[in-house]
């Protein structure tokens, strides 16, 4: 039974309890992920191997690295149709993300003063691609394509091997398509730790990006500071805003498509009126009977799904904006009103013909998205995540003379007289 609430009956505290959440809510997961990260930091390859033995994700022979030649070999082994689809998806992602490459800029606020904001790509980036029981070549494409556009020289993928100790050909083929330079068959928190701290056989990266489960997200938060991270892209979320114009089967399909990722996935239906909500819920079971991962979806819905009944579209949008979902589906008579009213969403899908899976695979929009309510502060993975800006300041004597009164006054106000001296000494006669 999916939990159902009426939004108008919630007080402020109950509403915050539903909407203010974390991508890693379980403190036990955080504690255990922290222990794995520390073990890999201190123990290197041996600790990675030990964690892989306990938690899975390693190659059958105990090694980690997959030779780059295997990328091309795997691309030749998969079906031509699948390889063509990977190429098409990569082309769409590249087309969308090419527009995001930042430009450097030069500003001269006054004569003799020049400030340059200069874009620099990262040198070495680690991509985590989920795996294990399911495989995610799309996550490889979503992260590697913008990394290449940014100008990253070394693109490293870590992804768990399957239970039989092999790596999926389609994942390796995606590496070939996207220009990945290294691949390590490691999963979970140990993969994040190895990328961040390095081991005897793996050089550390500048930044780790990519989606993952709660363990991966907890590990990313743990290593932040040792290296950069993109955003906490944890268990998948879908929120659908619907009114009585929605097609219940379409909405139900969108909800369960995100619940399919895992038993910790979140599905929320925000319905204007109870009738349409009941119609959507009634369509779920018949659809589940058609799916291989129906038990995973049922678990996710039973444990994490919510139906919220709103009295009107404004109330529905207000709740969605507070919830700040990873994926937002809009199925209403006036969808653009909802688009404008819910800025806190990772990726928005408007109308009957915009399924979440189109964005996951084919539109070129990025599917590495903020979860746990962090769409209030983060956006999708982008080219900007694979580099940084540095400031370069060039000042002439005349320019510094113009700045001198400002620096002197503020330095005096802060009591930092060495700051004033650093300016004054440049105008003193050399000794």
pLDDT at res. 430: 66
Report the pLDDT averaged over residues 104-131: 96
Q: Is the pLDDT of residue 342 over 80?
A: yes
Report the pLDDT averaged over residues 190-218: 95
Q: 11 near 18, Cβ under 8 Å?
A: no
pLDDT at res. 99: 95
d(CA 309, CA 89): 37
**Tens of pLDDT, residues 167-193:** 999 999 999 999 999 999 999 999 999
Q: Is the pLDDT of residue 44 over 90?
A: yes
- Tokens 């709740």 belong to 319
Verify whether residue 154 is a known catalytic residue: no
Which CATH class name applies to 27-232?
alpha beta
d(CA 41, CA 216): 16
Report the pLDDT averaged over residues 60-80: 94
Where in the sequence of the chain do the CATH 3.40.50.1980 domains occur?
3-22+235-364, 27-232
Tokens of 116: 């340059």
**Tens of pLDDT, residues 378-428:** 999 999 999 999 999 999 999 999 999 999 999 999 999 999 999 999 999
Q: What is the pTM (predicted TM-score) of this model?
A: 0.91
Q: Is the pLDDT of residue 132 over 80?
A: no
**Beta-strand runs (E) in 189-236:** 207-209, 228-229
d(CA 372, CA 77): 38
Cα-to-chain-centroid distance, residue 195: 17
Question: Domain 3-22+235-364 carries which CATH code?
Answer: 3.40.50.1980
Distances (CA, A) of 332 to 9, 55, 276, 313, 347: 23, 44, 11, 9, 17
Q: Is the pLDDT of residue 219 over 70?
A: yes
> How high does pLDDT run on average in the chain?
95
pLDDT at res. 345: 97
pLDDT at res. 62: 80
Q: Is the pLDDT of residue 235 over 70?
A: yes
Q: Which of 90, 197, 327, 356 is catalytic?
A: 327
Tokens of 196: 């961040």
Residues of the chain by 3-state class (helix, strand, coil), percent to 5: 50, 20, 35
Burial of 80 (0-12, 13-18, 19+ CB in 10 A): exposed
Q: Which of 222, 237, 260, 326 is catalytic?
A: 326
Q: Is the pLDDT of residue 37 over 90?
A: yes
Q: 251 near 280, Cβ under 8 Å?
A: yes
Q: Is the pLDDT of residue 214 over 70?
A: yes
d(CA 194, CA 55): 15
Assign residue 132 a region: left if phi > 0, alpha if psi is -120 to 50, beta otherwise? left
Q: Which of 67, 287, 87 is nearest to 174 (CA)?
A: 87
**Tens of pLDDT, residues 258-289:** 999 989 899 999 999 999 999 999 999 999 99
d(CA 286, CA 248): 12
pLDDT at res. 359: 96
The pLDDT confidence band at residue 351, using thresholds 50, 70 and 90, is: very high
- With a CB cutoff of 8 Å and minimum separation 6, the contacts of 84 are none
Verify whether residue 327 is a known catalytic residue: yes
pLDDT at res. 23: 77
- With a CB cutoff of 8 Å and minimum separation 6, the contacts of 377 are 370
Which stretch of DSSP H or E encloses residue 362? none
Tokens of 213: 């489960």
SS3 category, 233:
coil
pLDDT at res. 429: 80
Report the pLDDT averaged over residues 121-149: 94
The pLDDT confidence band at residue 233, using thresholds 50, 70 and 90, is: confident
- With a CB cutoff of 8 Å and minimum separation 6, the contacts of 203 are 124
Q: Is the pLDDT of residue 133 over 80?
A: no
Q: Is the pLDDT of residue 25 over 80?
A: no
d(CA 367, CA 327): 9
Terminal Cα-to-Cα distance of the chain (whole angstroms):
84
The pLDDT confidence band at residue 431, using thresholds 50, 70 and 90, is: low
Burial of 269 (0-12, 13-18, 19+ CB in 10 A): buried
For 345, which DSSP code? -
């Amino acid at each position: 039974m999916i939990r159902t609430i009426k939004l108008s009956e919630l007080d402020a505290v109950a509403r915050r309890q539903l909407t203010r959440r974390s991508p890693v809510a379980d403190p036990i997961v955080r504690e255990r992920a922290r222990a794995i990260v520390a073990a890999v930091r201190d123990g290197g390859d041996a600790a990675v191997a030990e964690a892989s033995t306990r938690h899975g994700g390693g190659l059958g022979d105990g090694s980690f690295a997959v030779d780059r030649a295997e990328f091309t070999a795997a691309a030749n082994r998969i079906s031509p149709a699948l390889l063509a689809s990977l190429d098409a998806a990569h082309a769409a992602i590249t087309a969308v993300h090419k527009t995001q490459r930042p430009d450097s800029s030069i500003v001269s606020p006054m004569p003799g003063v020049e400030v340059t904001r200069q874009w620099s790509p990262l040198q070495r980036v680690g991509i985590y691609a989920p795996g294990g029981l399911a495989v995610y070549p799309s996550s490889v494409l979503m992260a590697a394509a913008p990394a290449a556009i940014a100008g990253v020289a070394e693109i490293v993928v870590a992804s768990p091997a399957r239970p039989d100790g092999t790596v999926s050909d389609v994942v390796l083929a995606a590496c070939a398509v996207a220009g990945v330079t290294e691949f390590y068959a490691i999963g979970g928190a140990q993969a994040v730790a190895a990328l961040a701290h390095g081991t005897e056989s793996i050089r550390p990266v500048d930044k780790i990006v990519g989606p993952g489960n709660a363990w991966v997200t907890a590990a990313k938060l743990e290593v932040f500071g040792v290296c950069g991270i993109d955003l906490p892209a944890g268990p998948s979320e879908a929120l659908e805003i619907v009114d009585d114009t929605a097609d219940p089967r379409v909405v139900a399909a969108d909800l369960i498509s995100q619940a399919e990722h895992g038993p910790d996935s979140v599905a929320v239906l925000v319905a204007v009126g109870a009738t349409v909500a009941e119609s959507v819920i009634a369509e779920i079971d018949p659809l589940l009977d058609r799916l291989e991962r129906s038990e995973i979806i049922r678990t996710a819905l039973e444990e994490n799904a919510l139906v919220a009944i709103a009295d009107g579209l404004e109330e529905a949008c207000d709740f969605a904006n507070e919830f700040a979902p990873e994926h937002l589906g809009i199925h209403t008579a006036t969808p653009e009103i909802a688009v404008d009213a819910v800025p806190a969403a990772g990726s928005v899908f408007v109308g009957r013909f915009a399924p979440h899976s189109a964005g996951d695979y084919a539109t070129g929009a990025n599917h590495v998205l903020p979860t746990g309510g962090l769409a209030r502060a983060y956006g999708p993975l982008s080219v900007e995540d694979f580099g940084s800006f540095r400031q370069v300041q060039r000042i002439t004597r005349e320019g510094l003379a113009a700045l001198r009164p400002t620096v002197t006054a503020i330095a005096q106000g802060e009591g930092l007289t060495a700051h004033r001296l650093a300016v004054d000494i440049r105008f003193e006669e050399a000794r």
